[in-house]
Structure formats: structure tokens, C-alpha cells
Structure 1
Amino acid sequence: MKVKVSQIIIPKIQRPYAQGRLDGVCTYIRNTLLNEMFENFKTDEIFDFNFIYGIVRPSNDEYVMELLDGQQRMTTLFLVYWYIANCELTEDEEENKVIRDALHRFVYETRSTSTVFCHKLASYRIDLSGQTPSKVIRQAKWYFKSFDRDSTITAMLTMLDAIHERYINQDNKALYTKLANIQFYVKSLGFFNLSEELYIKMNARGLQLSPFENFKADLTNYIGGIDYPPFKEQVPLYCKDSEEQVEFHFNFSVKLDAKWIDIFWRKGFENFDASYMSFFSRFFACKYIISTKDIINDRDMRQDSTLRKIYTDAESRTEANEYLGFQEFKSILTNHPEYVLTLDKVLDTFYQYDFKDSKKAIYEMLVPTWEKPSLEGDDFYSNINTKMTHIKLITFGAVIEFIEAFKSFDTEAFKQWMRIVWNVVENTNIDSLTPVSSLIRKFSAIIHSIAKRLSDGDSFYYALSLWKEDNTDERENRALLEEVLKASRIAENDEWLPIFEDAEKHPYFRGMVMFFYKEGMSLSDYQHSLSLAKDMFDESGISPAYRQDHLLIRAIASQFVTWDDIRNRFITERAETNKY
């Protein structure tokens, strides 16, 4: 049903206007937006304000829209129209009357003072000869001192001064005709039965724009504005009971606020924006490492400035509520716009298999099997209260690449993939971003190789067993080579799998269970050797019976017959005081 919207309302539940605030984040947003807008005024091109959407409801004999998303941009647009109309149109001109009438239909309900201010400003005319708008407006008879205590009003005055500064430095002082070039798309969600809970979630982000809100606006503006065919494809709108088709980029923006937000909201709204932002920082860190594999070597990743900005420094920026800006992310997406499609797929998968119906299929696999008795799972991907580490970034990258590589999410294949990932990670020395980069790139290559072979009809483990044939890297990870060897035995006889899985759970072996394996060893011989090895070691190292009188170490030492056998080897045990 099509209706004419006669009024736009900023409802009480919305946060105050923030683009006029003086903190670093809001100043960056204000300057960027106004610089782009006034630069666009020099041309006849459309200035895209992207989508605004909200709930349309009847009011008397008319319809009004309560904004869910777009409050900041619409408020700035209200101020730009007011300023230019004030400077360029006379009171009697018909265009002035049309604009003033429209401005009166923009209603701010966040506070009663905001409501009164916007109503008064809509019809107010001032002379700006040599003075700033804020100074003149504060001297108006209708301006109450209490207005200074309303953060929305003070932010609006700051924005008007910023608009004024750019206008007086603009060569062209006839910008009224350019205002029509500022365009946006309007989408009503009022007829799609979105719950009030969504409304609350979208507006529970505190009094100022969070880094994630700024990032979200930049990201949705970017994907809505570039000429990339998949972003323009028609897809079903994510909304309850809706059969409407919309372009992918709009549906993506709706899911950011209407669907995926639930993944991060489940811990409560106090820091869900920060968790959301951290998810994107970590996602792009992994993708940046993978996308630069032919440009930046693993060793140089330790000093790479881009990775430092989007990952290493991101955690501290989150705590300080600072926004990096979109340039680094834009640079990645310019070369790889398909990463947005991966994002869409990854977040949908997390929602479907980890949030919806509390399945937690991914969550449960984010700790290794030998830690299962003490840890149920790890939700570091959606919870900033869980400390981020290099190991977790590698694991997150492995999850992303698995989801991307397969057309659909297979929980059993994912379980086996994460088993391999944890075995390799646990048995690799990860002391800097060099091994982090190496493993993220390695896992990406492996899982895409496996996925391709599976699409050709091969089994998971047979595909992994062929990795050495698919790989040209001469310096292969030792732990990975062990997994390839295990895969070859499982591909021959799947009875090996539960035996390996049981062995890998040992709290001391932690995934590396081929140290007693001999080439061509039978399953029964392996099980016998495993039972002996389990007896010799406990979670602390050598078990007491074999530690007494250094029995196991003496037995090992007795097998060496030349000095070369023990050169560069350290035969000791953790409990030994004089290890040297």
C-alpha cells in the first residue's frame, strides 16, 4: 500500500542528535559529511544520502514516519535546508514558504526543549552579517537558557556554525537550486510487523554516535553507492511476513539492524555495539591478511600499518570509543567487494547455527577437545569481555574461510575442520603476527582446496590427504603434515577417526599423537602403542610411575648410540629442577 507521508518524527526513544558534538569521532563525521556535500554543490551530480527507514503509522487523516534509522542525516539535512533558505530566499518567495512548511513537519520528540527549538527555528529568519548562526540564535527572544542544557540543541548550533563556515567560503552563493541533488531512499518497515524489541535495540546505543554506528553508515553508504552487480541484485527483504524483493545492499543494511544484531545483543545492550564493531575489525583483519598474501610476506605483517590499524590497535580504540574512519576498510573492499557477500553469508551462518534456537554449533567448536571438560565453548567472536588473542584470530579466520568455501554449512564437516585447526594451532609456536599470518593464509588455502575436491565427489579426509599434491610450499608446517598423514589413514579406513579423536583429547598430547606412529602401522598396533603412551604421560608430563628414578628419560637416552642422535635435542622433564 502506498501512502503519502506528511510528517517525519524523531521519537522519544531515539538518542539525541550527535553529528554536532565536539568529540573527535563526531567532528570527523561532521567534517567528512559537510566537505563531501559542499564539494558536490559545485557539480550537478546527485548526492546520495542512502536509505532512511522507519515505521509509518496513521495520524488523524494523514500518515507520519517515525524514523528507525537516518535520524542523524535527516537532522543535518533539516539544518542545511534551513540555513540556505535563510540566506538565499526572501520571506515572500513561494519556495521559502514551501521549505518552511516542510521544516515544520520535522518533529523532534527526544526532549520537549528539542521539540520547541525545532518548531521555532523552522520559521525563524536571521541576519548573519559577520556573526555565526549560534550566536545570533542564542540572542533571539524565543531562545530559553534551558536550551543550552539540551545536547541535541547545542549539537544543532554547532552544525549550523560548521555549515555557515563552508557556505561563506563557497564561491557559489546560489545553492538553493542544488539542494534537490541531495536525495535519499525511503523504506517503510511499518507494514512488516517489526517488533518493538528491534526499535529498542536500534536505539540503545548511548548518547553519542558509537564507532560501530559510524562504521555501519559508512559501510552501507559504500555498498549502496558502488557499481558492483551483486549489490544490485533483487533478494527477498528480511522482514517478517514480507514477500517484497529489494536490492541486496538495502537488505544487507536491514539485516545489520533487524537480524544480526541479535547475535551481539544476547549478552545485553551495554556493549553490544562495541562487540559488533570488533567482529568487523577481526573479519577484515583476516581478509586483509589473506588478500595480501602475494604482496606482503608473513614476517612483514608484524610491522604492517594497515593491520595495526584494523586489528592490533582496534581493541584499545573500542575501549576508548574512537572511530578509525572507513578508509582502511574501503581500500580492502575496493579490491575485493565480494567480501561483503562473504560477510552476509558468515553473519547469516552465525545467526542460523549459533543463535537461532540456541544451536551453538559454531560456539561449541571454538575450544579444542582437550579443553571440553572445563570449557563449554567460546563466544569471543561476539563478546568483547572475552580477551582476543592471536590464536583466536587464527581460529576465527578458519571459521570464516570454511563458511565462505562451502555452498552450505555442514556441521559434521565443520566439526572435523575445527579438529584439524585446533591440532595445528596448538602445536605451532604462535609468538607474533608472523605465524598468525602464515596460518590464516594456510587454512584459507586448505579449506578452499578441500571444498573444491568435495564438490568433485571426494571425501573430506581424502581431499585433505592430497594437500601435499595441491601445495607448492616446500616449508610446510610440521603439525599440518601430521594432520595430512592422519587424513590419509582415515581416508583408507574410517575406523581410524574415533581412535585419533580419542588420542587427541589427552591433556598432554593435545592433538599431536603420531610421535609413536610408524609408517604402515596397523590400527591394532597403534591402539596398543597409544595405551602405553597414555600410561606414560598425564596432564603434567611424565606420569609419576615413569618419572620415578627418571625411568622414562633413561629409557629414551639408552636408545641413542651416537652423539649425532642427541645433538640439538633436550631430553628432560618439566619437573626436573636442573634441566640443563
Structure 2
Amino acid sequence: MNSQVMTFWELMTKQTIHIPIIQRDYAQGRSDKQARTVRTQFIRDLADHLETNRPLVLDFIYGSVTPTKEFLPLDGQQRLTTLFLLHWYLGVKEGRPEVTTLSRFSYETRASSREFCQALVTMAPTLQPVLGQAPISTLICDSPQFYRSWEQDLTIQSMLVVLDTIDDVFRERPVTFAQLMDNDACPIRFHFIDLAVYGMEDTLYIKMNARGKALTPFEHFKAHIQGFAQAEEMKGKLESGFTHQFMHRLDGIWTDLFWQHRNDYHEIDQQMMAFIRTVLINHRATKSIDREDSALQRLLAEDELWFSDFMVEDAIDAEALFFLAKSLNGFGQPVSPTDVLDVGQLFERVISQETSETRLTYQDRVQFYGICLAFQHDLTSEQMAEWVRLLHNLSVNTIYNAMSDYSSSIRGMEQIKQSLPEIADRFLTQDTPIRGFSTTQVQEERLKIRLRHRDVSWKTLVERAEHHPYFQGQIGFLLEFAEIEDAFVLDMTCDWDTVLDATYRAGFTTYLKKSEVLFGENGLQIDRSLFTRALLTQGYYALKSNRNDCFLIDGFDRDISWKRLLRDKGDKRTYVKDLLDLLDLNQVEGSLQHLIKNHQVTDWYRHMIDYAGILETAIGKKRFFRETWDGRRLLLKEKRTSSYSYEYEMYALYEALRQHVNPNHLTIVDSAGEAKEKNVTVERNGQTCTVTYDHKTDHYYIDQYPNGTIMMKTHEDVVQYLTRRVEV
């Protein structure tokens, strides 16, 4: 396929240019930061090359020329429109009568867009005398030929913004309209391809629209891919015949793949578009080096993306098309099932994206990229299983707080993509770090690879632990408890003697068995109150969550679940080891009850061990607790202290008194706000005793109306006093 190198003026004088109705709005006038940067740089490049007469080739522009000499561009709409506006501006600036030739350029997307293009041509003579007195967009909008209703047209809005940028850049530049008209000398050119000459598929595309039959967005996208791929072939960036084979498969075996996954809610076109979109966004993420990458943010956020969006944001190139083809081929072949990551379910999630509720998480995108990356190689089933295991463990156990965390993982995999066939060896090479994932998890994977390669029994044991549904491949706490982690630091080959090996294996096995008893699929599978109070006998395990402490919940919340306690190294996790060391597998609940009953804790949180109701009744679902700036300890119903809460000392007193006092004579008072009084009242024969706690003096006060107030030092003193004085 041959292309012609030509100028905009040459193209327009040979045939009219009609932006077809199925094209998107003109978008180079968007207001986001990325668009402003791209727009300004592009227009400055045009000015610089015209001023210095240095050639600037604007890549390929392709579409079909109809028998009536109308050019209908499939790709190049944005560049052509900007060139139209530049020609118009310089023509107005110099008062050139040739501006009337620009009436051969038209938009068919909306009647208002078409009428505006024609109005620009007719109002040109009236604008030349006032040029520079105000922004050119203002002059245009103040013209009698401008209709206020046009302000709602997105294409017109964008054109006005671009014209203001052109005005800013070109106003003082010594660039002339004549330079643009000189087809031999004009430095601004592009490669032009008339696809109709070659009988390519987009002739059907044009005929369908001529009949008034609407194309789906995916059919539109396919036409652009075909033209772009053919252009890349001509540049030598794709091998000869790639486009033909790609399009043949897209309409053949790849369509069959999506047909097998069709459902009542998604058309095949939507599913294929979701797949391609995900591949291209991941490809763009491989190039992301800016934490606030606005281009990647837009691709991730917008529901409707056109081919030109991917082009503008540098998300599609020859490499992306080749990667896409390999990925589609890979998912079209049977994939051996794995115990840790269901590739089929991941594929379903990718192709079912439609709303914000069904959008992929960053973890999904990372896993999808990792699977697609594997399809770029001819991996054996063993190599594939090893990579999928590592991919799962790394992605599930890396925290994705922001887009930059996601793109970092994508770039990290991009750096090791050539090592996938020997990925285990790559992980063991210390001088080539694995980036983009939790460094702690990467180090854990190195250790587990050594253990799995040591012998079959270690491999079986490690995989048993990894496959636990709550641990999800993260078993660093077991390796630490069994002292294997420390041994690995000293000898990274794990080539210890058989005696030590037996010791490490026995320790690991014991901690694993005890952990399997305690934790189930979603967290604790034994009585939470027993476990919580028994764990407190070993130390104050609550973890920080912003300004609150949290006594942890089931599930996989990154900040306040049991999963975090097992994940994070430190003293808090050591309390779990201490508890496991004291746990009797033959009588689990009995050993926990024994710890609670015989504890020797004297610190302030001892009441939480003694009274089950404190952490099971008084506290909210998120199990938040806060010690305020003035020393108050609050059992929070919600996240903030402005909501209702109980005072810890008062609720502990309430729980103690409940064992001795008639419930009808006992009341615990909560309140909203940390400063509001929270107390316990006890009634006896018409007399009310109200107990409060002063955090500043660390004393309890018992107001015995009308008999005055007494002060006491300890919780035990108050309980003894009130239970002696009050009738049961």
C-alpha cells in the first residue's frame, strides 16, 4: 500500500473534506492539563517549523475518497481540523481572499458544527480589522453570524479554544498564508492514504453509513485499528501481513472466543471493546512515570473512549497491537487451571466492565497484564503455574492506594518480562531487584522459592499454607514464627543441615496447624471474644487507623482486619506468636479460656480481658477505640468522636456491676461527642448513685443524691463499694 505525501492545502483543493457523522467531536480544545499541554506544544511546533522552514511530517492520515471527490477521514480528524483553523487564522490575519477555499472543509457530526465552519469563512473579512482587540474567540462569538445556541456544541467550544491558542502563538510570528499554500515548499505535511483504492473493509463502513445504518462504537474502532495497523506496516514497525491476519482473526476465531462468554447483559462488541480498552490502558501504564499522570487518569476514568483518545494519550502503537494480538491468542487457548488465580474468572471480569460498579480494581488490572505478559511467551505449563503463583501473591499482597501504585506494578512486570520463562531464577538474583510490588512480599517469595526447590515436602508444605483462603499467599508470619526468616537472612541458599531442617519444618508445621484452626476463609473461625481477650493477655494488639485504635475485624480490609495483623512485622504480630505458643490444639477453646481466667495483666486495658461485653457490645462494628487528647478513653460506635460512644472506664464498671445488681436498677449512659458526660447510675430504694470518672485525676466520683459525693481511686474499690451498698 502506497501513501502520498501532501499538504493540507493540496488535499483540500483536490477534494472536499467532510468529517463524517460517525466521528467524535473535535477534542484538541479540552480543558484538562494534559490536553492543554499537548495542544500548546503542537501549535508551537507548527509555528516553529513554518518559521524555520524545517519539515514536519504529521504521520498518516487515511480514509476514503468517494466518487464525488469527498474525503471522509477515518484517522486524522483532529490534525486536519487544527490545520483548517490555522489556515483560517492566517488567512484572516492577512485578509487573504483565498480563505473562501476553506469552505471545502466541513463537519457532518452536527448541523451546528457544519454551519459554524461555513460561518467562519463568511465572517473572515469582518474580523481582519479588529483582530488583536480581544481574544479571537470573543470576536467570533460577538459576530452577528454567530448563534448563541452554538455555544453548546462541543466541537465548536473546542475550536474556539484552539483558535485562541493559535492567536497567542502566531500573532507575532513572521509566518504567512502563502507558506501554507505552497504545496512544494510548505514544511507541514502528512502521509495520505485513500483506503477505498485498496478495497479495504472500511468501504463497507462508509456504505453502511450511506444507507443510514449506524455502526457500533466497536465497528468504528475496528476501522481505525485497521487503518492504523496498515500505516504501521508501511513504516516497517509491524511485519508484512500483520493487518490482514489481525483483522481476519478479529472477525473469526477471536469473535468465537467472546461468543462463548456472551450473556444477556453485554453484546460481543462491548465485550471485545472492554478487552481491547484494558490492554491499551495497561500499555499506557508501562510508559507512566508521573505520579499524577493526567493522561492515564483520563483513560481510567472515562466510560467512552474513541480511537483518537488512545492516540492522543500515547496508548496505542505497533507494540500495543502486537501485544494485543498475542493476548487474544492466549485467552483463545485452553489455560491450565491454577489453585491461586482463576484466569477464566479474570477474563470474565475484564470483558464485563460497563459501569462504575463493574470496573476493574487496580489489582485486577495488574493481574490481567501479568497474564497477557505470559501469553507473549511460549511457556510450559510448569512455567505458567510458577508465574501465576508469583503474580497472585505479589498483586494480592501489594497495597494499591493510588493510580501510581498500579502503574508501578505494571512497569515492574515490564522490566522482567523477558525473564518469565525462568522467573524463579530471576527472583533469586539479588542484584536485579523486582520493582513495583511490596518489597516485603518480594523477599518472602524469594525465601519460598528456595524452600520449594529444596525438596518436595517443603514444596507441599509451603503451597498448603499459601492456599489457605485467608492468607492468600502471604505467609511471612509463619516463616518468622518458625525462625526460618532469620535463617534465610544468614544463609540465602537455605542449605542448612538436616537437623536444622527438621527443626524448621516442625516449627512451621505447628504454627500452620494452629493458624488453620484459628482462621477460616474470611477471618476468625473461632469465638471472637475468646480469641480477642486471650490475645490481649499477651499484649495490647490494637492497630492504629488514623486517630483511632482498632481491635480488628474479619475480612480483608487493608487497615483494620486480622489480615493486617498477620501482614505487618512488629511487636503486635509477635503477640500472635506468643498466643500460638500457648495454644493447645487438643483443646483450643479451653486453652484460650485458661489464658483469660489466669491472666496477670495490670495495665489499663485489663478490663477488656475480664469483661467480654466491652469489645463485643459497647464498641461499633468497626471496633474503633480512641484515647482523646485529654486522656478520655472512648468505645466508638462509629469512626468519629462526634458520634455516640461509651466511656471505657464507665462501661467496664457497668459490666462488673451487672454481675451483682438488678438490671432494672442499673443504667449505662452514652453520649455524642467526646466532651459530653458519660456515666453509670445505680438506684437503691429511691436513691440514685451516679458514677463518673475524671481522667485528669484518675479518680472515680460517686454522687449520692442528696447525700453528697465521694471519691475513689480504683475500679475495684468502686465495684466493692456499690455492690456492698446496693441491694441485689
TM-score range, shorter chain: 0.5 to 0.7
Q: Which residue of the partner structure matches residue 58 of structure 1?
A: 67
Q: Which residue of the partner structure matches residue 266 of structure 1?
A: 270
| Alpha-carbon distance, 1:417 to partner | 0.6
Q: How many Å separate the matches in 1 of 2:403 and 2:287? A: 15
Q: Which residue of the partner structure matches residue 723 of structure 2?
A: none
Q: 1:411 to 1:386 in 2, by over 3 A?
A: farther
Equivalence map 1:357-376=2 (5 Å): 357=332, 369=340
Equivalence map 1:543-558=2 (5 Å): none
Q: How many Å separate the matches in 2 of 1:173 and 1:435? A: 46
Q: Which residue of the partner structure matches residue 391 of structure 2?
A: 421
Is residue 280–residue 320 contact of structure 2 (8 Å, CA) maintained in 1? no
Q: How many Å separate the matches in 2 of 1:139 and 1:548? A: 77
Q: 1:579 to 1:275 in 2, by over 3 A?
A: farther
Equivalence map 1:371-410=2 (5 Å): 378-379=349-350, 385=357, 395=367, 398=370, 402=374, 407-408=377-378
Q: Which residue of the partner structure matches residue 457 of structure 1?
A: none
1:168 aligns with 2:171: yes
Q: 1:278 to 1:187 in 2, by over 3 A?
A: same
Pick which of 81-90 and 271-280 moved more. Answer: 271-280
Equivalence map 1:128-277=2 (5 Å): 128-131=128-131, 147=150, 150-153=153-156, 155-170=158-173, 172=174, 174-178=176-180, 180-190=186-196, 191-194=199-202, 196=205, 200-201=216-217, 232-233=236-237, 235-236=239-240, 238-240=242-244, 266=270
Letter in 2 for 1:307: R
1:112 aligns with 2:106: no
Is residue 391–residue 425 contact of structure 1 (8 Å, CA) maintained in 2? yes
Is residue 28–residue 35 contact of structure 2 (8 Å, CA) maintained in 1? yes
SS in 2 for 1:129: helix
Letter in 2 for 1:163: I
**How many residues were matched structurally?**
475
Query: Which of residues 450, 453, 459 is equivalent to 1:488?
Result: 453
| Alpha-carbon distance, 1:202 to partner | 6.9
Pick which of 530-539 and 41-50 moved more. Answer: 530-539
Q: How many Å separate the matches in 1 of 2:175 and 2:401? A: 60
Q: Deviations over 1:234-257 (max 9, x none)?
A: 5236544799xxxxxxxxxxxxxx
Q: 1:419 to 1:67 in 2, by over 3 A?
A: same
Q: 1:307 to 1:142 in 2, by over 3 A?
A: closer
SS in 2 for 1:192: coil
Query: Which of residues 22, 35, 48 is equivalent to 1:13?
Result: 22
Note the residue ranges of structure 1 that are not aligned, 5 or more in a row. 206-212, 244-261, 289-305, 334-338, 455-459, 554-565
| Alpha-carbon distance, 1:130 to partner | 2.8
Q: 1:109 to 1:530 in 2, by over 3 A?
A: same
Q: RMSD in angstroms over aligned alpha carbons?
A: 6.5
Q: How many Å separate the matches in 1 of 2:287 and 2:150? A: 42
Q: 1:126 to 1:478 in 2, by over 3 A?
A: closer
1:279 aligns with 2:298: no
Q: Which residue of the partner structure matches residue 325 of structure 2?
A: 348
Q: 1:436 to 1:485 in 2, by over 3 A?
A: farther
Q: Which residue of the partner structure matches residue 248 of structure 1?
A: none
Q: How many Å separate the matches in 2 of 1:507 and 1:86? A: 70
Identity value in percent: 20
| Alpha-carbon distance, 1:43 to partner | 0.5
| Alpha-carbon distance, 1:10 to partner | 0.9
Query: Which of residues 290, 296, 301 is equivalent to 1:318?
Result: 301
Is residue 264–residue 382 contact of structure 1 (8 Å, CA) maintained in 2? no
Q: How many Å separate the matches in 2 of 1:509 and 1:32? A: 50
Is residue 28–residue 78 contact of structure 2 (8 Å, CA) maintained in 1? yes
Query: Which of residues 469, 479, 504 is equivalent to 2:466?
Result: 504
SS in 2 for 1:19: coil
Is residue 284–residue 310 contact of structure 1 (8 Å, CA) maintained in 2? no
Q: How many Å separate the matches in 1 of 2:48 and 2:141? A: 29
Q: Deviations over 1:484-511 (max 9, x none)?
A: 124414xx66x98778656532324533
Q: 1:442 to 1:482 in 2, by over 3 A?
A: farther
| Alpha-carbon distance, 1:42 to partner | 1.6
Equivalence map 1:29-68=2 (5 Å): 29-59=38-68, 63-68=69-74
SS in 2 for 1:379: helix
1:76 aligns with 2:82: yes
Q: How many Å separate the matches in 2 of 1:147 and 1:434? A: 39
Q: 1:417 to 1:47 in 2, by over 3 A?
A: same
Letter in 1 for 2:67: P
Letter in 1 for 2:105: F
Is residue 279–residue 382 contact of structure 1 (8 Å, CA) maintained in 2? no
Letter in 2 for 1:12: I
Q: 1:276 to 1:106 in 2, by over 3 A?
A: farther
Is residue 291–residue 403 contact of structure 2 (8 Å, CA) maintained in 1? no
Q: How many Å separate the matches in 2 of 1:435 and 1:122? A: 50
SS in 1 for 2:579: coil
Q: 1:509 to 1:145 in 2, by over 3 A?
A: closer
Q: 1:48 to 1:530 in 2, by over 3 A?
A: same
SS in 1 for 2:15: strand
Q: How many Å separate the matches in 1 of 2:363 and 2:525? A: 29
Q: How many Å separate the matches in 2 of 1:273 and 1:446? A: 23
Is residue 282–residue 369 contact of structure 2 (8 Å, CA) maintained in 1? no
| Alpha-carbon distance, 1:467 to partner | 4.6
| Alpha-carbon distance, 1:45 to partner | 0.7
Q: How many Å separate the matches in 2 of 1:274 and 1:242? A: 16
| Alpha-carbon distance, 1:419 to partner | 0.8
Q: How many Å separate the matches in 2 of 1:109 and 1:444? A: 42
| Alpha-carbon distance, 1:373 to partner | 12
Letter in 1 for 2:129: S
| Alpha-carbon distance, 1:183 to partner | 0.9
Is residue 13–residue 203 contact of structure 1 (8 Å, CA) maintained in 2? no
| Alpha-carbon distance, 1:160 to partner | 3.9
TM-score (norm 1): 0.58
Q: How many Å separate the matches in 1 of 2:143 and 2:271? A: 47
Q: How many Å separate the matches in 1 of 2:407 and 2:145? A: 62
Q: Deviations over 1:324-351 (max 9, x none)?
A: x99xx99xx9xxxxx9776455433333
Q: How many Å separate the matches in 2 of 1:413 and 1:531? A: 27
Q: 1:40 to 1:15 in 2, by over 3 A?
A: same
Is residue 275–residue 351 contact of structure 2 (8 Å, CA) maintained in 1? no
Is residue 390–residue 436 contact of structure 1 (8 Å, CA) maintained in 2? yes
Q: How many Å separate the matches in 2 of 1:90 and 1:471? A: 63
Q: 1:131 to 1:122 in 2, by over 3 A?
A: closer
Is residue 17–residue 152 contact of structure 1 (8 Å, CA) maintained in 2? yes
| Alpha-carbon distance, 1:46 to partner | 1.7
Q: 1:549 to 1:56 in 2, by over 3 A?
A: closer
| Alpha-carbon distance, 1:528 to partner | 10
Q: Which residue of the partner structure matches residue 640 of structure 2?
A: none
Letter in 2 for 1:353: G
Is residue 51–residue 184 contact of structure 1 (8 Å, CA) maintained in 2? yes
Q: How many Å separate the matches in 1 of 2:151 and 2:433? A: 66
